[in-house]
Chain A
Amino acid sequence: MSFSIKKEGEVVVVDVEGQLIVGNRQELKQKVLDELEKGEKRFLIDFSQTGYIDSSGLGVLVSLSKKIREQGGELRLANLNDDLKTLFELTKLDTLFQIADTRERALSSF
C-alpha cells in the first residue's frame, strides 16, 4: 500500500495504491497536509488502484475535506469501484464528497 502524489495542471492528484486503512491513514493525511501547507488548493484523490477502505480511512478523507475547505480549497474523489461506491453510500459520505467517475472528469470539474 502506498500513495503517490503528482501535479496535473493546478490540481494535486493522489493515487491510493492498495488499502486505505488504520495502518496507513496518517501517511495519506500528512502528505496532503504538506501540499496544503505549500499553498496548494485543488486536490483529487484517485481510487482506481484501491482495494478497500476502513472507517479510519473514511475518517481521514472527511478530515482532509474539512481542512482543505477551511483553507479555501477543494477536494474531489474519482474512480471509486462498485465496492467503494457501496461503502460511501452506506455511510452517506457520497453526499459529502464530489465524486467523479473518471480522473479526467474530476480534473475538468475544478
Chain B
Amino acid sequence: MRTLDVEIPSDIGQIERVVDLVQRECAEMAYAPRQVSLNVPVALSEAISNAILRGNGEDPEKQVRIRARVDASELVVEVEDEGEGFDLTECTSNDPTRPENLENEQGRGLFLMQRLMDRVERTRRPEGGGNIVRMTLRRAS
C-alpha cells in the first residue's frame, strides 16, 4: 500500500503537480493505463479545483489537503478544504449532457468525478469548517 499526504495553498497553479503525484502512485501499482491517464487525473483535478475555487473561494489563507491511499484493489483519495461547502446533489441535479445544457460553459465538474470514479462522497470535517470529498476507484488492470 502506498500513501500520500499533501497540503497546498488555494492556488489553481498547484493542481497539476498533485495530480501528477497521485497518477505516479497509481502507475506504480499497475492500475490500468486508462485509469492512470484519464479517470484519476480528470476526477482529481476536478476535486482539487472545487476545493480551491468553491470550497476555499481562492482564499490564500486557506489550504487544501489531499490524502491518497493506493493499494492493489483501490485508490481512495480525499480532498479537504476549509470552506463552507457545496451540496453534491445540488451540483449534479442539472445534467450537463442534456441538449439544452450542452452549450453551458460550466456544470461538468462533479458530473465527471461521478462518471470517472466508482464512488464520490462528501462529508464535513470532524473539527468543523471544511469539507472532505472522498473518491474511490477500484483498480482495473
Contact = CB atoms under 8 A, between A and B. Distances in A.
**Interface residues of B toward A: which range?**
20 to 34
A22 B45 contact: yes
A52 B106 contact: no
Interface stretch (A4-12, A37-45, A92-100): A92-100
A16 interface: no
A56 B104 contact: no
Interface in B28-44: 34, 37-38, 41-42
Contacts of B45: 19, 21-22, 52, 54
Majority SS of interface residues in chain B?
helix
Interface residues of A, number: 28
A92 B97 contact: yes
A62 B96 CA distance: 12
A66 B12 CA distance: 25
Interface string A1-38: 10000000000000000010111000000000000000
Contacts of B97: 90-92
Interface in A81-104: 82-83, 86-87, 90-93, 95-96
Given A22-B15, A23-B12, A54-B109, 16 more contacts: A19-B16, A22-B12, A22-B45, A23-B16, A52-B37, A52-B41, A52-B45, A53-B42, A54-B49, A59-B105, A60-B105, A62-B105, A83-B38, A91-B112, A92-B97, A92-B102
Interface of A: 1, 19, 21-23, 51-56, 58-60, 62-63, 65-66, 82-83, 86-87, 90-93, 95-96
